[in-house]
Amino acid sequence: MSSTNTATTPSTPGAGAGPEAGAGTAAAGSSAPPATGAGGPGSRAIAASGADEGRIGLRANLRHIGALVRRNALQIKQDPESMFDVLLTPIIFTLLFVYVFGGSVGASLGGSREDYVNYVVPGLMAMMGMNISMAVGTGVNEDFRKGVMDRFRTMPIARSSVLIAKIVVEIGRMLVAIAILLGMGFLLGMEIKTSVLDLGAAVGLSLAFGASLMWIFILLGLAMKTAQAVQGVAMLVLMPMQFGSSIFAPPSTMPGWLQAFTDYNPLSNLADAARNLINGGPVAHSVWMTLGWAAAITVVTAPLAVAKFRKKS
pLDDT tens digits, one per residue of 229-284: 888 888 888 888 888 999 998 888 889 899 999 988 999 999 999 999 999 989 99
pLDDT attached to residue 313: 58
CB neighbours of residue 90 within 10 Å? 26
Provide the Cα torsion 200, 203, 207, 210; round to 10°: 160
Q: What are phi and psi of 125, to 5 degrees?
A: -60, -40
Q: What is the pLDDT confidence band of residue 42, given thresholds at 50, 70 and 90?
A: very low
- Give 153's Cβ-side CA count (13 Å radius): 16
What is the b/e burial string over 198-236, where b = at least 16 CB atoms within 10 angstroms of the residue's CB?
A: bbebbbebbbbbbbbbbbbbbbbbbbbeebebbbebbee
Compute CA distances 97 → 64, 164, 234, 247, 249, whole Å.
42, 33, 22, 11, 10
Q: Is the pLDDT of residue 20 over 80?
A: no
Nearest CA among 126, 127, 125 for reference residue 179 = 125
Query: Is residue 130 a contact partner of residue 187, using CB atoms and an 8 Å limit?
Result: no
pLDDT attached to residue 34: 42
Q: Is 103 helix (H, G, I), strand (E, B) or coil?
A: helix
Nearest CA among 155, 150, 152 for reference residue 9 = 155
CB neighbours of residue 24 within 10 Å? 15
Its sign, for the CA torsion 21, 2, 149, 54, is negative
pLDDT attached to residue 304: 93
For the chain, the average pLDDT equals 80
pLDDT attached to residue 114: 80
